[in-house]
Amino acid sequence: MTLNLVTAYKFAFNFYKNENSEILFFLQRQENRENSEHNIEKFDLKLYNTNEENQFDRQDLVFTYTKENFIEFYLLNNMLLTNSFENNCQNKIINCNFDLSYYLKLSKDFTEIPDRITICQLKYFLLTLKFLQAVDNKNMAKLLQALIFKVFICSNT
């Protein structure tokens, strides 16, 4: 009997709003986990709040979100607009089983989307848009057109 081992990564990002009205994302952890299940397609994203600022390493900056991001997100915009003491003092953590920073970078500059994009990558990107509540505007339409083109036209050539 053989077991097909699938390696899954667990990523943890902490983020907070700085004094320049930017949200800074830092990679805190990238774990390697082994799982013996076949074809794992569980896409997972969870958001946590914490007041424990000292436990986070702020050396590995992976993304900076501003209001001028090509794709805007309601969740992040609300954080930028809120000036409450609670919001400014809390660190937030996102745990996920994929590299969220890659998809955040694509939301800033969609011309960086590779010519060949897999269905799995598309699912991760759409999950990111849903979880962070992407703003429905003309930029979202341009992004979706680019994704459809990359998935269905470029991937088949």
Domain ranges of the chain: 6-156
Q: Which residue has the tokens 């400014």?
A: 88
Highest mean pLDDT among 52-61, 90-99, 104-113: 104-113
Distance of alpha carbon 97 from the chain centroid: 10
Q: Give percent of the chain above pLDDT 70.
A: 76
pTM of the model: 0.78
By the 10 Å C-beta count (0-12 exposed, 13-18 middle, 19+ buried), 11 is classed as buried
Q: Who contacts 121 (Cβ-Cβ below 8 Å, separation ≥6)?
A: none
Residue (of 122, 10, 22, 120) closest to 63 by Cα position = 22
| Residue 135 confidence (pLDDT) | 94
Whether the predicted pLDDT of 11 surpasses 50:
yes
Where residue 27 falls among pLDDT bands split at 50, 70, 90?
Answer: very high
Q: Which of 27-41, 42-56, 66-80, 93-107 comes out lowest in average pLDDT?
A: 27-41
The DSSP H or E segment spanning 152 is none
CB 45 within 8 A of CB 132: no
Residue (of 45, 109, 107, 21) closest to 72 by Cα position = 107
| Residue 57 confidence (pLDDT) | 66
Q: What is the distance between the alpha carbons of residues 23 and 41, in angstroms, rounded to a whole number?
A: 29
| Residue 33 confidence (pLDDT) | 57
Whether the predicted pLDDT of 8 surpasses 60:
no
